Amino acid sequence: MPRARVLIRPKEGILDPQGKAVERALPALGFDGIERVHVGRMVELEAEDPERLAELCEKLLANPLIEDYEIQTL
Amino acid sequence: MTTETAKHRELGLTDSEFALIVEKMGREPNVVELAMFSLLWSEHCAYKHSRKLLKQLPTEGERVVMGPGENAGAVDVGNGYAVAFKVESHNHPSAVEPFQGAATGVGGILRDVIALGARPIAILDSLRFGELDSVRSRHLLDGAVRGIGHYGNSIGVPNVGGEIYFEAPYEHNCLVNAMCVGLAKTEDMVRAAAAGVGNAVVLMGALTGRDGIGGASVLASAELGEGDEAKRPTVQIGDPFEESKVLECCLELLEKGLLVSLQDLGAAGLTSSAAEMASAGGLGIDIDVARVPLREADMEPFEIMVSESQERMLAVVEPARVAEVLAVCEKWQTGSAEIGTVTDNGQVRILRGEEVVGDMPVAALVDGCPLYDLEPGEPAGWIYGNRATLAAGISAEDELLALLAAPSIASKRWAFEQYDSVVGSRTVRRPESADAAVLQLPESGNAIAVAIDGNGRRVACDPQAGTIEAVLECAQNLACVGAEPLGLTNCLNFGNPEKPATAWQLDQAVSALAETCTAIGVPVVGGNVSLYNEGPEGPIYPTPVVGMVGELPDPTQVAGSAFAKEGDAIALIGPFSPTFAGSELAKQRGALDKGLPRPDVAAVAAACAIVRDAVRAGRLASAHDVSDGGLACALAECAIGSGLGCRVDVQPLRDRGCSPEDALFGEGSGGFLVSGERAELEALGGVLLGEVGGTKIEIAAGDRSLVVGLGTAESAWRSLDERLDSPV
Amino acid sequence: MIWGVLQFPGSCDERDALHACSRLGEARLVWHEERDLSGVDAVVVPGGFSYGDYLRAGAIARFSPAMEAVAEMAAAGAPVLGICNGFQVLCEAGLLPGALLLNESMRFTCRQVDLIAARDALTTPEGGQVNERRDQEGERLSIPAKHGEGRYWAPEEVLDALEANGQVAYRYAPGQNPNGSARDIAGVRNEAGNVVGLMPHPEHAVDPLTGSTDGLRVFEAVAAAGAPA
């Protein structure tokens, strides 16, 4: 069955405290020059009918009000 | 020596233990059998170095419903109800992966209580880490608190109390002790013993994967060395959602009378639960690993038997009722499978379909492990070192503020606000509002109080006196809310018992525990031992942690710890005679040493009774046990909690022979700081110290008198809020 | 009035909500697989961690048969109260605007907070709907909040509309916002006013023994707000 990967990330402009915390912690660990960190989710699945993936994302995997998603077919 | 034979050493068995296994089996064990023996004969499961000592503990009493040997202890709280409770450690896993280690510690203790057929109604935790200026200790604290919160909050059991201490000897080996309290109708409680030859054995809950293979047991039977990073894969991952489904499922099954017996799967997974169920019932058991629902398809039989995948329970069910059991599991969306049978041949047989892959005598597995005598050797002096953080010659005010800000004394609000303390609608006293947690039992018409108290540094100064103090502290905390102790659970956290100093500490502590519990009439209904808590720098402080449950008749008559109103008199009840030795002040001055005065158990017990009865009768406006930081800190805590100051004179303590400094900051058992009507306090035999009022904490103490503003004291006491939100 | 309190795998505060509702009428638990809620007049979607908060809090619970029935009841004007996880479920189901995000502190926080109710959010002591109140602010309620993902968020234009329409039912009192919610919003209601969601837990403020009793005011308001289905 065709495999797909869905990346879900917080919409631009919404406070992302996890992303901020990661970004702030990096210099102390010796990583400079890293900005605009965002933390999201990844869902991997096998789908008989890849045409329905967008609907699945809209309805369940992401909350379109606060998240953007990207479907990658593997 | 072939490679095959040397394998037992890798699994933690000595050559003579291996020889004993061969003798009991009449042949050499195969891979499955060796794995199972190595786990059940590990220190963690077999209590090889402590079992003989623990026999001293008093375990009987007229209120005891379940004693040691069952999944948890239980006491009768009246009206047909029983309260189940136990404390357990998850020290080694938490030192390696604090979030999951602490979370699965909570998960495990919850299952122990569920296994009795009790619904968990409260969690408490006792945590110990190195000092807060260490990145490692901050990381462990952070992870452990998040893990405990995550698991307890998700499953909907309130965390109502606990303690957190910071001492250098715990730097490498943190302590995470989790306690659970549950409620059940006494007649509905269920035991672990397998019964009924021919009955089915049903596994419920999560799938079995490779979690913690060789995990808890191996980690706990050896000191943590340089290579402990490699032990990370053996840490278990917890899923509280799965546990909540298993919990509801088990309670429904018990309500419907569908289970003969129930056991949870903890350390050593199926191996220990199956063997222990068989042993308790004096029977045998067959387990077919081919029928165990697996997360990973290619697991070998020994892996399936030693897996420590979480959130699983084992039940014995009459064959005719298996279908109903599976149906209830289906309703709760939790896994279930019939995996074995109860037999009458006294053997634990592991099958893979038709093939027998392991066949061992139950008795050899569960009771055959040799028990070792300790070889105690009292150390000549103080073995833990000292580190001064407070200059000499500072003012008494500055000393008080330094003590209030000490991480071991300061408010732990940062931690307990990460825990849901109200779910279940039973919590009458939330964390830091009284000396013990109080939970109402509307179904029974009364209430219970719970406290957990450990003692490391003072037990290190004097294992006997320190252990006595730990038990009395718990009893005092219960008395402050009007509760009478019904039973006790304990976790003994010590270093390597094969070393003479630790052996001596353990020996002294257990005998003191036994003596004190007997003297105050509180039976030990269960507990846990965690040994080998030792790193390259040496052992932890010897740390007995005590959990007590008490009963009180009327939850509307519960004193808080803070002062109540302006003008109330303040008094001291009890034989409190504090000294500098082993105190937080001594620690900060770098002056810790051997030796503590021995508490007068009878006198403290008498004071507990007075305070308890007075609280029940509503004769006290507030009651607070004096502990870390001494009387001055206790007064400050009462003042801060109320927003009211106090004017006090410690002359009565000086009359008992205390120096001004000991009167202010000395520590020891038997001090109750109470407030209320002057005439009432005098009638109770309280020694008047002063009164509530003003906006300052004013203590007259000869040349150590002090005056500190309430706001200043509160800032010091609440300093952890900000400190723990900032980098190290 | 018959209250129905939904129960999902992972719900935690449903029994507490049940006891709270029982003080005001008859109440029963509604298993998430029940599709027929006839006989239930008012619905409470309780707090907890339905489905472990997996994927997103409330994301899976909103698809249950019981929630389909709740959506129908809501459309017909029945009173629906979502508490904490229940508020999250109602937002995911589109029955309330906005979303609940991770607390700004990124920590679960359990703390008693003061809420200011909207001026007409609560009923008079006699039980009637209130349109005018003597005081400028609404009533101040002391209620425990306990959550890790309670930061209310909606696009600016939605927030403006909510405020203009009087749909902000509860706000955290100044200095009491525990999670960084936009405009200190603790609870909102739909345009018709029969569906209310809030993050703090009124069911844990109904018994003087365990805290304040201000939570009862929230349940009373819900009961008065909708026309029974």
- Select the residue of C99, C102, C106 nearest A63 (Cβ to Cβ): C99
With beta carbons under 8 A apart, name residues in chain C contacting B332. 9
Q: How many residues can be counted in chain C?
A: 229
Does pLDDT of B363 surpass 80? yes
Is B44 in the active site?
yes
C187 sits in which H/E element? strand C185-189
Two tokens at B216? 């808890």
> pLDDT grade, residue B230 (50/70/90)?
very low
State the Cα–Cα distance between residues B601 and B365, nearest whole angstrom: 41
Mutate to test the interface with A, among C51, C56, C156, C188 (most CBs of A within 10 A): C56
Interchain CB distance below 8 Å, C59 and A66: no
Alpha-carbon distances of B551 from B82, B224, B296, B425, B555, rounded to whole Å: 11, 40, 47, 18, 10
Residues B390 and B516 sit within 8 Å (Cβ to Cβ): no
Q: What is the DSSP-derived secondary structure letter of residue B332?
A: T
Q: How far is C127 from chain A (nearest CA, A)?
A: 37
Q: Is a pLDDT exceeding 70 seen at residue B388?
A: yes
Q: Which residues of C touch A (CB under 8 A)?
A: 55-56, 59-60, 63, 92, 98-99, 101-106, 151, 153-155, 180
- Let me know: does B246 contact B203? Beta carbons within 8 Å: no
Residue B484: phi and psi, rounded to 5, are -100, 125
Across the strands, what pairs with B338? B202
Q: What pLDDT is attached to residue C125?
A: 54
Question: For residue B138, is pLDDT > 60?
Answer: yes
Distance of alpha carbon B661 from alpha carbon B283, whole angstroms? 63
Q: What is the pLDDT of residue C229?
A: 40
Buried b (16+ CB within 10 A) or exposed e, B183-210: bbebebbbbbbbbeeebbbbbbbbbbbb
Confidence band of B218 (pLDDT split at 50, 70, 90): very low
- Based on the residue annotation, tell me whether C84 is a catalytic residue of this protein: yes
- Please state, in angstroms and as integers, the Cα–Cα distance from residue B685 to each residue in B484, B572, B574, B605, C61, following that order: 20, 9, 9, 15, 60
Phi-psi bin for B411: left (phi > 0), alpha (psi -120 to 50), beta?
Answer: beta
What does the domain layout of chain B look like in residue ranges?
Answer: 11-41+190-369
Low-confidence ranges of chain A (pLDDT < 70): none
Give the per-residue SS3 of C89-155: HHHHCCCCCCEEECCCCCCCEEEEEEEEECCCCCCCCCCCCCCCCCCCCCCEEEEEEEECCCEEECC
Nearest to B179 by CA among B125, B113, B99, B247: B125
**A28 inside 8 A of chain C by CB:** no
pLDDT tens track for B172-196: 999 999 999 999 999 999 888 888 9
In this predicted structure, which of B104-113, B291-300, B513-522, C145-154 has the lowest mean pLDDT? B291-300
Classify strands C151-153 and B534-535 as parallel, antiparallel or unpaired. Answer: unpaired
Q: Do C153 and A66 touch (CB under 8 A)?
A: yes
Contact yes or no for B241 and C48 at CB 8 A: no
Q: In B127-195, which residue ranges form alpha helices assigned H by DSSP?
A: 135-155
H or E element that contains B64: strand B64-66
- Residues of chain B with pLDDT > 90, as a percent, come to 90
Q: Indicate whether B429 pLDDT > 50.
A: yes
Q: B708, B695 in Cβ contact below 8 A? A: no
Burial class (CB in 10 A: 0-12, 13-18, 19+), B354: exposed
| E runs forming strands in B598-702 | 622-625, 646-649, 672-676, 687-692, 696-700
Active site residue: C84, C91, C147, C149, which one? C84
Mean pLDDT of chain B: 94
Please, are residues B558 and B552 in contact by the beta-carbon 8 Å criterion? yes
Domains and CATH numbers, chain C: 2-225 (3.40.50.880)
- CA distance readout (Å), C121 to B291, B323, B706, C225: 57, 51, 51, 9
Spatial distance between the Cα atoms of B638 and B647, rounded to a whole number of angstroms: 12
Provide the greatest CA pair distance for chain A: 46
Please check whether residue C117 is in contact with residue C148, taking contact to mean a CB–CB distance below 8 angstroms.
Answer: no
For C89, how many CA atoms within 13 A lie in the half-sphere containing its CB?
A: 34
Residues of A in contact with C101 (CB under 8 A): 14-15, 66
pLDDT in tens, chain C (229 residues): 999 999 998 999 999 999 999 999 999 999 999 999 999 999 999 999 998 898 899 999 999 999 999 999 999 999 999 999 999 999 999 999 999 999 999 999 999 999 999 977 776 555 554 444 434 468 999 999 999 999 999 999 999 999 999 999 999 999 999 999 999 999 999 999 999 999 999 999 999 999 999 999 999 999 887 644 4
pLDDT at B726 over 50: yes
What confidence score (pLDDT) does residue B123 get? 98
User: Cα dihedral angle (B253, B256, B260, B266), rounded to 10 degrees?
Assistant: 20
- How far is the C-alpha of C121 from the C-alpha of C114, rounded, in Å? 15
Cα(B428)–Cα(B440) distance, integer angstroms: 6
Q: Which residue has the higher pLDDT, B234 or B153?
A: B153
Hey, what are B683's tokens? 């009638």
Q: What is the mean pLDDT of residues B122-132?
A: 98
Is the predicted pLDDT of residue B453 greater than 70, yes or no? yes
Taking the C-alpha atoms of residue B502 and residue B169, their distance in angstroms, rounded to an integer, is: 14
Which H or E run includes B605?
A: helix B601-616
pLDDT at C133: 41
| Alpha-carbon gap, residue B533 to B484, rounded angstroms | 33
Q: Is B595 exposed, middle or buried (0-12, 13-18, 19+ CB in 10 A)?
A: exposed
Tell me which CATH homologous superfamily contains domain B11-41+190-369. PurM-like C-terminal domain (3.90.650.10)
Cβ pair B241:C13 closer than 8 A: no
Q: How does pLDDT run across B577-589, given as a tens digit for each residue? A: 999 999 999 999 9
pLDDT digits (tens, 9 = 90+) for B279-294: 999 999 999 999 999 9
Closest Cα of chain A to C39: distance in Å?
A: 30
Distance, CA of C89 to CA of C67 (rounded, Å): 9
pLDDT for B583-632, tens place per residue? 999 999 999 999 999 999 999 999 999 999 999 999 999 999 999 999 99
